[in-house]
A = this chain, B = another copy of it.
Amino acid sequence: MGLSERIDNAVMQAVATGQGGVAPRQLAEALRYATTPGGARIRPTILTSVAMACGDDRPQITDAAAAALELIHCASLVHDDLPCFDDAETRRGKPSVHRAYGQPLAVLAGDSLIVLAFEVLARVAHLDAGRSARLVLTLAQRTGMPNGICAGQGWESEPQVDLRAYHRSKTGALFVAATQMGAIAAGQEPDDWEELGARIGEAFQVADDLRDALYDSDTLGKPAGQDDLHRRPNAVSELGVEGAIKRLTDILSGAIASIPSCPGEAALAQMVRMQAERLIPVITPVAK
């Protein structure tokens, strides 16, 4: 089983946990709709790659962690797409959840996915209660207030934005969760893994800024030009297109250099390089 299949299976198994028995049909469907087809599943891919680099001695815990992180990411997309935020008509090339199911079910689908993420982590506590609890704590800290993606979105309502805190929480938080939860799932200390996650997060922020500024909605599969429209801070407006691309490659080199010493260090560096190649060629031709 390849990595991508492993992660998809873990996510689908987690979603099924939220759908069993006598459940309201449309909300159950909305949970599946919001999580399939997967996007690149980048966060759980990083998480699982880190866990494998650390030995992956409890693969069921790794799978739970990967699924939980992806559920939180999907929940954030559902809520961010709501009319009171981005009012996005489309997501991943199909109608956004509130367009397909209405706003009430979109709010509830997001809420349910958040809760399900923590349930999935609690369900592997019989394998190692300590790891389960550390995963819950790390995921919560990177999701909620004051440092998680909720905080990141909250900064957009502030008249005065702390840009460093904004970027760190809005985009960086779930990448730090990815590397740290991968380490925890494999029984390692998470502290050394923060920098790798933070740098990957910065790289994705810059790549996302480039895409938002350069692409149209059809290519993105979601509305383009949102940063300009909502006057959000953006690396392209700050550095120009060439400058932003230079910055992206620098950050990715730094990410690879920051990988802590571990049994699977070389393979992990290779994974980060692959992710980097996915980001950069997509942007370069458009920028020229």
Contact = CB atoms under 8 A, between A and B. Distances in A.
Interface stretch (A157-165, A194-202, A234-242, A268-276): A157-165
Nearest to A110: B111
A224 interface: no
Pick the most buried of A19, A75, A101, A118: most chain B CB atoms within 10 A of its CB: A118
Copy number in the complex reads: 2
A145 B28 contact: yes
Contact of A25 (B25, B123, B158): B158
B122 A140 contact: yes
Nearest to A23: B146
Nearest to A113: B144
A29 B108 CA distance: 23
Contact of A158 (B24, B130, B143): B24
A25 B161 CA distance: 10
Given A79-B111, A110-B111, A129-B125, A105 B157 contact: yes
A185 interface: no
A124 to B, nearest CB: 9
From DSSP, what is the main secondary structure of chain A's interface residues?
A: helix
Contacts of A103: 84
30 contacts: A18-B144, A19-B146, A21-B147, A22-B165, A23-B154, A24-B151, A24-B158, A28-B146, A75-B111, A79-B107, A84-B102, A84-B103, A101-B157, A104-B157, A108-B153, A111-B111, A111-B114, A112-B144, A112-B151, A114-B114, A115-B140, A119-B136, A119-B144, A122-B140, A125-B133, A125-B137, A129-B129, A129-B130, A129-B133, A133-B133
Given A26-B158, A115-B150, 16 more contacts: A18-B144, A21-B147, A22-B162, A23-B145, A23-B147, A27-B145, A27-B150, A105-B154, A114-B144, A115-B145, A119-B137, A119-B140, A119-B141, A119-B144, A123-B137, A125-B133
Interface of A: 18-28, 31, 75, 79, 82, 84-85, 101-105, 107-108, 110-112, 114-116, 118-119, 121-123, 125, 129-130, 132-134, 136-137, 140-141, 143-148, 150-151, 153-158, 162, 165
